[in-house]
């Protein structure tokens, strides 16, 4: 079942954390970087769901890996711009690196 996949659970937990965190960004960046973070993480979740339902998971997992890399860079940028604290950044990075895309 999809809900039991470790990567699904970690990304889902990250989404639950991301939304209220992005809402605390400066108003001008909430709709720029914040929207990019939200779109990227939702695209990542969709790709994980697609990979789980397909016989050939590799194309979806490769694309999910690209989306994860995008998310890491955007999260790092928000930390460097001081929209995230170092502690928040470490939490997000921890969620993104705890599990590998293994099926």
CB contact set of 64 (below 8 Å; sequence gap of 6+): 44, 47, 48, 51, 101
Q: pLDDT (tens digit, 0 to 9) for every residue of the chain, 103 residues total?
A: 555 567 888 899 999 999 999 999 999 888 899 999 999 999 999 999 998 888 888 899 899 999 999 999 999 999 999 999 999 999 999 888 865 544 4
What number does CATH give the domain 2-97?
1.20.1440.60
């Amino acid at each position: 079942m999809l809900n039991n996949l470790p990567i699904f659970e970690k990304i889902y937990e990250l989404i639950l954390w991301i939304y209220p965190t992005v809402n605390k960004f400066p108003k001008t960046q909430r709709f720029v970087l914040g929207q990019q973070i939200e779109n990227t993480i939702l695209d990542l979740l969709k790709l994980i769901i697609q990979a789980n339902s397909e016989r050939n998971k590799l194309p979806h997992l490769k694309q999910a890996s690209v989306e994860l890399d995008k998310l890491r860079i955007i999260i790092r940028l928000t930390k460097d711009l001081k929209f995230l604290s170092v502690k928040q950044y470490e939490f997000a990075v921890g969620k993104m690196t705890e599990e590998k895309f293994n099926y």
